[in-house]
Structure 1
């Protein structure tokens, strides 16, 4: 099975290299792509500089894929992976205990896979996740927030095998004058919708991080579906 994917960058990348990138990205070191050309163009101009939307063909045949948005996983598995890789974490007792709990009961060992599919956590979305860890919003509110701004999924190549399965097709120049405002507007709209959602308050049956820890909920718990 082949898939067309894009990578936004300040440069043309004809041959993605295994072992490059920051360990502190959402899913650790890897090559981050999207199926959306428009999102790749926004990522290319993330720092308000011109860039390129690199286009690739990805052959999924034989690759072991961790799909964090699959039914057998919950948003807590995604958050546990995020907490493992992101260095910044709120310095409150609840947040730090939440991080330990997520790591113990929801973390998925990503080293067993070639490819990861999951939400993209830019600064806005990471702040939503931090609010949940601090018990400020419910699990239901966090799940809603992850769809604000329509960031969609990102596809991350993490193994040597995965890097042999991607083929460069073309690169399109992207102008920051057009796409940086689009990225800023998407982020602004997501934050605005999130603030509106927080103001609606929580239902008595919604689940908070403290509930998860107090009730000893773990991966696969039916109450988290």
Structure 2
């Protein structure tokens, strides 16, 4: 990656993204959340009441230290460790509490050394899938397959001041709610429908890994099933 075209869906035209601004409880913490997919940005931009804007940027990334969570040394548990460190949710069961402690201890990543992050986008519905894994209701394999449903695409998140200095606003496109709100709803409904099909038609095998297997130390970090 050297020069990336990124889009940010919003209710506003944002010519100058602000460093150290925004919610700390987003997937990857405080940062500026973008996508490389124009249509997804337009879907994110719309609300029930109004159209939105897909802001377009060029990012000079060759001098940035980017955490790519799709690289071979990372797996879904690394992504989850970041998610549970930032998202606010109810740890309703002892297994969930132990799961969060385990992930933070064993799979946490020091994000301070990175300028930007590329990884899954966890919409609320997708976060619900993750919580099912944390509570031992679905297997690691089921969760990994669920994250591919709905084609949400990746998020590219600017984290450091250096990254914010490397991005340039190049324009915007209007995102009509009459078109893109329904697309967003259809995408999410399709993901939920496919998830239920995945669960209903899934046959558990001895090779499946559940959260309790990780907590009890039955799975090594080099286990091929984590890839």
Cα offset, 1:220, TM superposition:
4.4
Check 1:192–1:90 CA distance in 2 against 1; reply closer, same or farther (3 A cut). farther
Cα shift readout 1:154-212 (whole Å, capped 9, x = no counterpart)? 10000000000000000111111211110000000000000111112322211111111
SS in 2 for 1:98: helix
8 Å CA contact retained: 1:48, 1:180: no
SS in 2 for 1:137: coil
Q: Return the alpha-carbon distance in structure 2 between the equivalents of residues 109 and 20 of structure 1.
A: 20
Structure 1 position 204 matched with structure 2 position 202: no
8 Å CA contact retained: 1:90, 1:130: no
Check 1:184–1:195 CA distance in 2 against 1; reply closer, same or farther (3 A cut). same
Q: 2:28 aligns to what?
A: 27
Q: 1:52 aligns to what?
A: 53
Q: Return the alpha-carbon distance in structure 1 between the equivalents of residues 47 and 147 of structure 2.
A: 19
Q: Return the alpha-carbon distance in structure 2 between the equivalents of residues 147 and 68 of structure 1.
A: 14
Could you tell me which runs of 5 or more consecutive residues in structure 2 were left unpaired when the two chains were aligned. none
Q: Return the alpha-carbon distance in structure 2 between the equivalents of residues 52 and 184 of structure 1.
A: 18
Q: Return the alpha-carbon distance in structure 2 between the equivalents of residues 41 and 109 of structure 1.
A: 32
Q: How does 1:71-110 map to 2 (within 5 A)?
A: 71-110=72-111
Check 1:213–1:85 CA distance in 2 against 1; reply closer, same or farther (3 A cut). same
8 Å CA contact retained: 1:41, 1:52: yes
Q: Return the alpha-carbon distance in structure 2 between the equivalents of residues 104 and 224 of structure 1.
A: 17
Q: 2:191 aligns to what?
A: 190
Which deviates the most, 173-182 or 142-151?
Answer: 173-182
Q: 2:173 aligns to what?
A: 172
Could you tell me which runs of 5 or more consecutive residues in structure 1 were left unpaired when the two chains were aligned. none
Structure 1 position 67 matched with structure 2 position 64: no
Cα offset, 1:47, TM superposition:
5.1
RMSD: 1.3
8 Å CA contact retained: 1:134, 1:209: yes
Cα offset, 1:219, TM superposition:
4.3
Taking structure 2 as the reference length, the TM-score comes to 0.95
Q: Return the alpha-carbon distance in structure 2 between the equivalents of residues 175 and 40 of structure 1.
A: 12
Taking structure 1 as the reference length, the TM-score comes to 0.96
Q: 2:42 aligns to what?
A: 41
